[in-house]
Structure 1
């Protein structure tokens, strides 16, 4: 069995190295294509060939990565590890020494030079043995022992993997301190989270790691805010030490309670709060959107214009999107200045926005106009509609006409007697809904978007709060 496992690991290692070579070649092809497309919009500096950057982790990276005082921790799962993690390691984390990376999963294994740590091996025995959620965990161990491919479990055990994921949070955080204690910063992300290294480095330079920082993009449960795990969260060395230093086994103290909670990131907030570490929002630097879904411009009534802020994390990034973002980063010549949302829009999104697109949904739902008898959220009351607004649901052209006249509407989406407006501009994606259902058609008011772009320049980046 040992020889069989060894042979399997050797094969996987060879495949991973081969994947690196193929992926780097595809990145180079994409980068040249992206630069050619962008040249018709604006003049960009010529990006050096990928060869000049060398293998991942070398010191000849174009922009310096964060220091040894910063540890990046990636949470993933065995049934998706080969789909998502290699892309992350080749793009956003390309310049990181493996010693400054920790990767946690629901199965311990090796991926080339990277050790994948089991985040769940210290979960209380009674919880593991009595809770059916850990049946999937035992199945993973059996698959590994028998040399089977755990990725085959993804479809049939999708819900089981998701339910098990919540137990990783606290144990991952405690293990991180034990394995890499006394660092200044700990950056926790997931395998489909993109980390903009240059912006992270500039942001951390503004913060004091001796203070108990616990930063992230807020969501809420039971009236309490906590950082959304997929958007990434950051703990200063002081904050993590308050939780884990001298508190060996603290994660296991929450295992029983975790059985009755839905979100591990929520329980982590509760556990940190009990140790005196309070969460603070750092949205929109850390966030769940990505370039194609970011709401650029004014947006709804939050008082936040998405334009001059740097971006540190983005979530639900596909391998192709990660490649595009990485290629764009290589065109940025001055790493002393942050990459702003405005830059992502101008270099990655603007050329894709056009007057209209069939079978496309651009996420327009800030205000809705539906046919009489169709109820739904954000519906404008019929009593408050003008005569032309009452016809917005009739067709794509009617929807466009009302959007053009509405002073806040930048784009719209139409489907089957439903017209949606957006107070920002977003790209969205091709509609891939049920083929038997009506599709979406999306439109943008290009003149309004151009005026908004011209009226809003960025004299300086908008970091959250002041230097602390």
Structure 2
């Protein structure tokens, strides 16, 4: 009798015992997944495991969808949540005794067309009568937030903590009119006292302006591009918790870089300051040891379940305009802020450049605003003598040593066509610097610099036009 042919796979059926085993395994798997998910829900928002998983999932998402996830098309769309910068925003300007000379320039850099109306100035000292900042005829006193923090009920009264001692020495020098000593103390310990300003500053801001939709926290060397800010805020719901800024730090506390500006929505402020008093008290206590105030704020926000929204990180610049790195993922995106404008001349210069712009500013617009050479717009590789379009070294840049000529450096850039936007050759060191970004740059004796014309032109061709 010939052997029976094998049973087609479609007709295979589990035997009763196999079926029971399969069902049991499935139930165990579902039960295990349910238990793990339930345990996940019970983990605190700032648990290391939760933060690590979230960080890695976001990294995978960014890889799959592209780092410029928010795009720039919303700049041209009608706002879903229209914003009046004067009515709906409060600008909290953070300064210090040693940098208070920046304040007049910060306000002078606001053009006559500026829409900002309400401000709160916070510092490690309080201004005296007749010394307040004045803007459009209105006096703006400087509020001592360090003293307010040290007076918080979460902290023992006038404890002998090193930061308390440093603050009291500074306050004493200011009170006694010892200007030279006060400036020296501010220079050596001002950065430590800075962490004590953040939470108290936001508390005071919410107390005085509880109905504002958006709260903007900036340093005294930060410039805000209002024409870009208006459409940006206009497509976000202020009644949803939003914590926005330039992302820095590792997975344990991704935080918005304070110098690039921090934006908090009404809902985020209410969640932190009204509904999470325990979180606020802990933040006040932690401010005595936390190195950076912007990271202190991030940790407090995380404990409320509000994480930094990194979809918009590429809209904030931590550098001045000429050194802002124009990367492929942000060519067509708006730019909201600039940083490191530490002298009055630098701040006023940026104010004059951007104060009369009447439309959103894209990253690539920096090229035209500063009248940089642009043969790359015709697909041509540029070459600019005694200039630098790469800027300072940073992760992602490549330095090739012992490159004999600028032409050889250009070829190095061509070999990295997917990663190279700009190159700079140093005649003195024979270093060839290649970067995936380009900057407007400035004079640099002995250097020759240029762009990958074809790549830059191709990237700009994707930008929507006004």
1:374-421 CA distance string (max 9 Å, x none): xxxxxxxxxxxxxxxxx52x5666545544665335222435353321
Structure 1: gaps (5+ residues): 1-63, 299-303, 371-390, 432-439, 463-468
The equivalent residue for 1:419 is 432
The equivalent residue for 2:147 is 121
SS at match of 2:216: strand
Moved more, 139-148 or 276-285: 139-148
1:121-150 CA distance string (max 9 Å, x none): 222453853121233322332233223437
The equivalent residue for 1:147 is 177
Shift of 1:445: 2.7
**CA distance in structure 2 between the partners assigned to 1:170 and 1:411 by the alignment:** 43
**TM-score, normalisation: structure 2:** 0.68
The equivalent residue for 1:10 is none
**CA distance in structure 2 between the partners assigned to 1:258 and 1:90 by the alignment:** 32
Aligned-pair Cα RMSD in Å: 3.3
The equivalent residue for 2:223 is 194
2:389·2:424 contact (CA, 8 Å) conserved in 1? no
Structure 2: gaps (5+ residues): 1-82, 375-381
1:139-194 CA distance string (max 9 Å, x none): 332233223437x6445642411111111111111221112112111111111110
The equivalent residue for 1:315 is 339
SS at match of 2:91: strand
Note if 1:225 corresponds to 2:254. Answer: yes
SS at match of 1:346: helix
Pairing partner for 1:452 from 447, 452, 456 = 456
Shift of 1:240: 0.3
**CA distance in structure 2 between the partners assigned to 1:197 and 1:360 by the alignment:** 26
1:221·1:266 contact (CA, 8 Å) conserved in 2? no
2:331·2:463 contact (CA, 8 Å) conserved in 1? no
Q: Tell me the matched-pair count.
A: 358
Pairing partner for 1:239 from 265, 268, 272 = 268
Note if 1:161 corresponds to 2:190. Answer: yes
**CA distance in structure 2 between the partners assigned to 1:230 and 1:248 by the alignment:** 26
**CA distance in structure 2 between the partners assigned to 1:295 and 1:220 by the alignment:** 19
**CA distance in structure 2 between the partners assigned to 1:329 and 1:417 by the alignment:** 37
In the TM superposition, 1:305-344 aligns within 5 A as 306-318=330-342, 319-332=344-357, 335=358, 337-344=359-366
**CA distance in structure 2 between the partners assigned to 1:255 and 1:242 by the alignment:** 16
The equivalent residue for 2:298 is 269
In the TM superposition, 1:87-102 aligns within 5 A as 87-92=105-110, 100-102=118-120
Aligned pair in 2 of structure 1 residues 119, 364: CA closer, same or farther (>3 Å)?
Answer: closer
**TM-score, normalisation: structure 1:** 0.67
**CA distance in structure 2 between the partners assigned to 1:441 and 1:364 by the alignment:** 17
1:292·1:349 contact (CA, 8 Å) conserved in 2? no
1:364·1:421 contact (CA, 8 Å) conserved in 2? no
